[in-house]
Amino acid sequence: MLTYERLHTVRHARVSEIRPDSIANEGQRRGATYREAGVDIDAATSAVDRIKALAHATFAAPDAAAPIGHFGGVYRIAAGPERLLVASADGVGTKLMLAFVLGGEAHARVGADLVNHCVNDVLACGATPLFFLDYIAMGRLDGAVLEAVVRGMATACRENGLALIGGETAEMPGLYRPGEYDVAGFIVGEVAPEAFVDGRAVQEGDALIGLPATGLHTNGYSLARHILGLTGDAASDRAILDRPLPGGGGETIGEALMRPHPSYFSKVMPLVQDGLVRGMAHITGGGLIDNVPRMLPDGLAAWIDPSTWTANPIFTYLVEAGSVPQAERYRALNMGIGFVLAVPADRAREALEALPGAVEIGRVVAADGEGLPRVRGLADTTDGTVDV
């Protein structure tokens, strides 16, 4: 059961390495405490008390969820017709390592990114988010950092209309280096069975509409860190992140990498409810190449023309600095497209007018045999030409 009340500590030791007499003697001499072992329960309790208010502020109504503090988060489902519950879980990857270096509001940023990432995942099924839970693990609890991360989550929950009903805070000395932590999120949404979007309705000839990304969002950071030469040394990494981004209009590399992962819910859901959308793909790990096929029925593929949009300066810089092959860049990075819709070709203009900044990036085509790519137009072929 997951609640903010629980503080969980994990310790590992081989029984054969522990001498009972040494344990007893040490305990008698020093009076061993949990705090000495690296876990400060008083500090954890104080931090939990502060973040409870952040979570309660996400409740749409006082009785929308049970007060935080019991052994499980509770959410009230209103009476009504049959609906499906749609759940997802995710993290923000090694974008966290940039937050460790940059500090301050970067911690709130990754908290909000986590919520928005999960919201987009259930949106791709046509679902409206209901509630969210989190897991945060630290080597030694830092109340200010914990509060910042949860504040970011709570802000994104309010903006997306879902309740933050609980979570787990784990303090695990020795598992994380000082100043480091990990975070994961869990979301549940709902959709009527007849409104569930799984791509079955997608047809050959449908238009593919791409919604712009603000940056890397929450994927591709290990590649970015490798290209930039980030090593985990705070001083040297900070110096690299503080450099101006070429073509970035004064933005630093760190600022470009920490751009928010947006939620597409408020823009896309009205089109879904109008019956305009036949399929959706959230462009996360695996990029366009791996994620677009997830919304396509068997026998269909996607043809995508990368000349239809301009990639953000951070992508241009990374692929040039790292000499990243074309196929790799569209699989490791989103390359400027954060979400893709499949809509009837004769309604493409309607979708574009409703989605400022969106572009028509391609179309749905016949798969034309087994073994061929499900996404055409992005991958280099063996003869040096571009696959179309």
Yes or no: say if 216 and 324 are a contact pair by the CB < 8 Å rule.
no
Handedness of CA 44, 46, 47, 49 (dihedral sign): positive
For the cut 60, the answer to whether the pLDDT of residue 33 exceeds it is: no
What percentage of the chain reaches a pLDDT higher than 70? Answer: 81
Which domains does the chain possess?
Answer: 35-195 (3.30.1330.10), 207-376 (3.90.650.10)
Q: What value does the mean pLDDT take over residues 218-240?
A: 95
Q: What is the pTM of this model?
A: 0.83
Contacts of 271 (CB under 8 A, 6+ apart): 277, 341, 343, 351, 354, 355
Query: How confident is the model over 141-155, as pLDDT tens digits?
Result: 999 999 999 999 999
Question: How far is the C-alpha of 270 from the C-alpha of 275, rounded, in Å?
Answer: 9
Q: What value does the mean pLDDT take over residues 260-280?
A: 98
For the cut 50, the answer to whether the pLDDT of residue 200 exceeds it is: yes
Output the six-digit token pair for 107.
């911690």
Lowest mean pLDDT among 11-15, 144-148, 154-158, 160-164: 11-15
Strands 84-91 and 207-212: unpaired
Residue 118's pLDDT band (boundaries 50, 70, 90)? very high
Cα-flanking dihedrals φ and ψ of residue 196, to 5°? -65, 130
Output the six-digit token pair for 158.
């309010």
What average pLDDT does the chain have? 86
Which one, of 140, 97, 105, 109, lies nearest residue 232 by Cα? 97
For the cut 70, the answer to whether the pLDDT of residue 62 exceeds it is: no
Query: How confident is the model over 304-354, as pLDDT tens digits?
Result: 999 999 999 999 999 999 999 998 999 999 999 999 999 999 999 999 999
